[in-house]
Amino acid sequence: MSRPRAEAVVDVAAIRENVAALRAHVGGRDLMAVVKADGYGHGLVESARASREGGATWLGVALLDEALALRAAGDSGPILSWLAVPGERYAAAIEAAVDVAAYTVDQLDEISAAASVAGRPAMVQLKVDTGLGRGGGSLRSWPDIVRHAGELERAGRIRVSGIWSHLAAGDEPGHPANKAQVVAFADALDVGRAAGLDPQHVHLANSGATLTASETWHTMVRPGISVYGLSPLAGGASPVPLRPAMTLVAALALVKTLPAGHGVSYGHTFVTDHETTVGLVPLGYGDGVPRHASNVADVAIDGVRLPIIGRICMDQFVVDLGAVMPLVGDAVVVFGEGHDGSPTADDWARAAQTISYEIVTRIGPRVPRRHVDTGTA
Ligand SMILES: *Cc1c(COP(=O)(O)O)cnc(C)c1O
């Protein structure tokens, strides 16, 4: 039986087990599994389903379209969507019972207008910028935001179901920004409560803080990358057992021997110094394999590491087969769980000087996802 050119095999059992382990680690608090960007490349609906099975009480997405796709696929549990632009379809969010984020008074007004059309209150989670300097209401505007939200809540237009924030350095436990953000968040909560708000959900922790910082856990944690089995901590360390869910595999397309002194791939950035048997891997940056890993990253065949030689092209790259004598069609593991000596997404991230998030999320639509379930349940 021949294997496909390439596929990303996603083990939903790993997602389920990672979520269960993370939730146990935080003492059974609510857990919002972040499934934005097609579940970090693992498949939106499949990742969401496995997360729910593992005990995720909430799902988090960036875009309302992602939330609505989950509803269309039959997910009926709590979902928060947090990134909007003017003209956002808040009516559709209310209709679909999706919680939305608000960062500004103007957004609250837009949400409130949609609620009056819908004839029922919108569920809103107010986001405060406690130091990330990205999304969320600034600390300066926060008193106005919570005062306005309180008025709209008393008018029956919205229900403030949550107050939340996001960390700048959750993956660096000793970073001084963490302590400052924890304190700023506590203050922002006090300001919100003084304005009459009583949010049921209070959350701050991304994966890094979920793994390392109990003072950030509040009522709920909001992990993303760790759901997929990758740790954002230095060296991929994790106090919680995590198993990478995605394995990127290709079929070896060609085996041939090049003489000594032969250039390999565009620009001849690699030249053989002896007669070399090479293999052609039919994946490239058109599939999301980072060109920055040219001449640096490894793949594996039967657990044996093989270095990439020469530039990674749009559709293909070349590896030095060394003493390995594979057949065309054999499985080339680009990255995966790493248990058999194969590279991990973390290894690729180091080679390409990026983070594992980008390695898995950028695997493109030309690579089919195949979902498997190695669980016994
Ligand atoms: C992506 C994202 C997360 C998840 O972060 P990880 O580092 O992947 O755990 C949590 N909250 C917000 C607001 C995000 O954008």
pLDDT of amino acid 38: 98
What residues have CB less than 8 Å from 186, skipping those under 6 apart? Answer: none
Is residue 290 scored above 90 in pLDDT? Answer: yes
**Can you tell me which atom of ligand 1 is nearest the CA of 135?**
13
Q: Cβ atoms within 10 A of the Cβ of 303, count?
A: 10
Atom 1 (ligand 1): residue with closest C-alpha? 224
pLDDT of amino acid 1: 67
**Can you tell me which atom of ligand 1 is nearest the CA of 164?**
13
> Is the CB of 206 within 6 Å of ligand 1?
yes
**Distance between Cα 222 and ligand 1 center (Å):** 7
* Ligand 1 pocket: which of 206, 216, 217, 357 to mutate (most atoms within 8 A of CB): 206
Q: Strands across the sheet with 369-372, in order?
A: 254-258, 276-281, 317-320, 304-309, 298-301, 331-335, 246-251, 6-11, 369-372
The secondary element (H helix, E strand) that includes residue 53 is helix 44-54
**Distance between Cα 206 and ligand 1 center (Å):** 5
**What distances in angstroms separate CA 329 from CA 264, 280, 301, 333, one per listed residue?**
21, 10, 11, 12
> Is the CB of 203 within 6 Å of ligand 1?
no
- Residues 344, 336: contact at Cβ < 8 Å? yes
Q: How much of the chain, in percent, has pLDDT values that exceed 90?
A: 98
* Ligand 1 pocket: which of 66, 100, 222 to mutate (most atoms within 8 A of CB): 222
pLDDT per position as a tens digit, 204-243: 999 999 999 999 999 999 999 999 999 999 999 999 999 9
Distance CA 96, CA 168 (A): 31
Q: What's the 3-state SS for 71-97?
A: HHCCCCCCEEECCCCCCCCHHHHHHCC
- Residues 275, 30: contact at Cβ < 8 Å? no
Which residue in the list 179, 228, 266, 357 is annotated as catalytic? 266
What residues have CB less than 8 Å from 193, skipping those under 6 apart? Answer: none
Residue 179 falls in the annotated catalytic set: no
The mean pLDDT of 167-188, rounded to a whole number, is 98
> Is the CB of 238 within 6 Å of ligand 1?
no
Q: How much of the chain, in percent, has pLDDT values that exceed 70?
A: 99
pLDDT per position as a tens digit, 322-352: 999 999 999 999 999 998 999 999 999 999 9
- Residues 36, 58: contact at Cβ < 8 Å? no
Atom 12 (ligand 1): residue with closest C-alpha? 166
Confidence band of 376 (pLDDT split at 50, 70, 90): low
The token pair at 95 is 């209709």
Which residue in the list 36, 90, 103, 285 is annotated as catalytic? 36
Atom 13 (ligand 1): residue with closest C-alpha? 166
Is residue 155 scored above 80 in pLDDT? Answer: yes
Higher pLDDT: 339 or 138? It is: 138
**Can you tell me which atom of ligand 1 is nearest the CA of 36?**
1
**Distance between Cα 224 and ligand 1 center (Å):** 5
What residues have CB less than 8 Å from 268, skipping those under 6 apart? Answer: 310
For 373, phi and psi rounded to 5 degrees? Answer: -135, 105
3-state DSSP helix/strand/coil % of the chain, to nearest 5: 35, 25, 40
Distance CA 342, CA 301 (A): 8
Instruction: State the amino acid at position 262 in one-letter form.
Output: H
Confidence band of 2 (pLDDT split at 50, 70, 90): confident
pLDDT per position as a tens digit, 60-109: 999 999 999 999 999 999 999 999 999 999 999 999 999 999 999 999 99
The mean predicted confidence, pLDDT, of the chain is 97
Give the bridge partners for 246, in sequence order. Answer: 10
Higher pLDDT: 1 or 185? It is: 185
> Is the CB of 199 within 6 Å of ligand 1?
no
> Is the CB of 128 within 6 Å of ligand 1?
no
Distance CA 165, CA 302 (A): 44
What residues have CB less than 8 Å from 189, skipping those under 6 apart? Answer: 163, 202
> Is the CB of 136 within 6 Å of ligand 1?
no
The mean pLDDT of 230-258, rounded to a whole number, is 97
pLDDT of amino acid 30: 98
Distance CA 42, CA 39 (A): 5
The mean pLDDT of 129-141, rounded to a whole number, is 98
- Residues 9, 239: contact at Cβ < 8 Å? no
**What distances in angstroms separate CA 319 from CA 3, 230, 240, 282, 293, one per listed residue?**
19, 26, 34, 11, 12
Confidence band of 130 (pLDDT split at 50, 70, 90): very high
> Is the CB of 222 within 6 Å of ligand 1?
yes
Distance CA 253, CA 368 (A): 17
Residue 266 falls in the annotated catalytic set: yes
pLDDT of amino acid 377: 52
Identify the DSSP state of 274: S
Atom 6 (ligand 1): residue with closest C-alpha? 224
